[in-house]
Structure 1
Amino acid sequence: MSNTLRHAKITPHRSAARGHASHGWLDTYHSFSFANWYNPNFTQFGSLRVLNEDRVKPNSGFPTHPHRDFEIFSYILSGELTHTDSTHKKSDTEESELFCRVRRGDIQFTTAGTGVTHAEFNYGKDPVHFLQIWAVPWKRGLAPRYHSGRHSDDDKRKGFVTLLSPLKGGIDATTAQEKAAEPMIPGTIAIHADFVMAAGIIAPGSKFEWTVGAKATDATKRKVYVHLPMTKGGKAQIKLDGREDIFVEGDGAFVDDVNAGDKLVVESVGDVEAEVVVLDTA
């Protein structure tokens, strides 16, 4: 397979270079500086600010805590996580119960904006494994907003499924557009950033193609962060753009100097299918 992005710079971010903390109930890896771990080489990538890979034991979780002025989302890799916040309580209604409890493949999204308090707890019998991701919004002081989405593994085995895309109207969105929360890509969750998230499950020997920018942005110059979560006991591996570097579970890749419309090929070269997350930002 020949590389098609000769102009792109692809820099590995190895799993061993991530920050790591174990708190008994929580085992967490930080791709970017977070909490007590700071590395000046890993602080932010475009609007991507936090990428934590967390495992939380049963009957434990994050107690109620505040956030503001970030776009915060959790992508569930296994198990289930119950989210409660300052406007949605776990016991409100059956609908809010479905909103709060997210399971394998689901995404839970919060615009923290002017300020929210929330908690995330594992009420299940098994550990929950998820990615917690934060993006910097295009402006501060936004009204808090919550949403969740569900996409099947079957769809992700056909190609990359887009989960998040920018809010229609962008930084100058009207009050009506904010209320409608319509994303640039139908079927996704609208985010207040020039940011697109996608996930795919690639069979061994197969390749998926990611279109940079996902036709959801006017920004020509882009950055893409690719992450391979630790889901298959170390057996999943990928290559990017036909290059020699092999990425193993827990690794990420900084893809710089790409333009909207470029095609990034992700190939699964391990013994098992690889679940790959793509974070595309200006």
Structure 2
Amino acid sequence: MGNKEVLKRGDIQLTSAGTGIRHSEMTHGNGPVHFLQIWSVPQKNGLPPKYYNRHFTDEEKRDKFVLTVAPVGSEGVKETRDGEGPAPVQTQLRLYATIISPGSSVSHTLKGASNGTSDSKAYLHVIQTSGYNKGKATGALVKVNENLHLSEGDGAFGHGSKGESVTIENIGDVPAEVLLFDLE
């Protein structure tokens, strides 16, 4: 496809391999690189390759959830290579990002399955921003729905019902970067 990109903080690069692409990654310079690579399985096979870029600033995400990835055809999703709003994905996945200030909290209401059932699944991930660490996690610490504590690098999967809320409170002393996957 001929795409070459330099990704910076807050960038999302969504690639749909579809019927096949060749892909490689390399660092730009000698410094360490820290990013998340997330894969999802499309709802149908044989789709053409696609490529999308989106950027979300820290300020946009501060103390609120921002929808960064959503199913093709969802409200606000544009299938343009470069653009604003959530990146389009060929699966029933909504990805929200936030940076929670110490002492603050954010909440999300689960969307439920598109098949009409009230079932919802969610995966929560606290991004590790304090750097590589062989020992016990340091940095951000959050409390989920009053009973679950997660540190940097931790994740948790759960089931819920459409309309149920997930509340994440930053109980640490540094900002906590969190991803919430609202899944079917």
TM range (shorter): 0.7 to 0.9
Q: 1:229 to 1:194 in 2, by over 3 A?
A: same
Structure 1: 5+ residue runs without aligned partners?
1-86, 91-99, 170-179
Distance of 1:109 and 1:230 partners within structure 2: 21
1:267 aligns with 2:165: no
Structure 2-normalised TM-score? 0.85
Q: Which residue of 1 aligns with 2:126?
A: 228
Distance of 2:140 and 2:161 partners within structure 1: 28
Structure 1-normalised TM-score? 0.57
Which protein has the bigger strand share? 1
Q: Which residue of 1 aligns with 2:48?
A: 143
Distance of 1:209 and 1:217 partners within structure 2: 21
Q: Which residue of 2 aligns with 1:103?
A: 8
Structure 2: 5+ residue runs without aligned partners?
132-137
Q: 1:154 to 1:216 in 2, by over 3 A?
A: farther
Q: 1:146 to 1:216 in 2, by over 3 A?
A: farther
Q: Which residue of 1 aligns with 2:27?
A: 122
Structural mapping, 1:20-99, within 5 Å: 87-90=1-4
Distance of 1:249 and 1:275 partners within structure 2: 8
How far is 1:251 from its partner? 0.7
- Percent identity between the aligned chains? 39
Distance of 2:38 and 2:95 partners within structure 1: 10
Whose radius of gyration is greater, 1 or 2? 1
- Whether the aligned pair in 2 keeps the contact of 1:232 and 1:272 (CA below 8 Å) is no
Give the count of matched residue pairs.
171
How far is 1:126 from its partner? 2.0
Distance of 2:65 and 2:26 partners within structure 1: 29
Q: 1:266 to 1:255 in 2, by over 3 A?
A: same
- Whether the aligned pair in 1 keeps the contact of 2:63 and 2:101 (CA below 8 Å) is no
Corresponding residue to 2:154 among 238, 251, 273: 251
SS at the partner of 1:155? helix
1:237 aligns with 2:135: no
- Whether the aligned pair in 1 keeps the contact of 2:6 and 2:28 (CA below 8 Å) is no
How far is 1:216 from its partner? 9.5
Two-structure CA RMSD over aligned residues (Å): 2.0
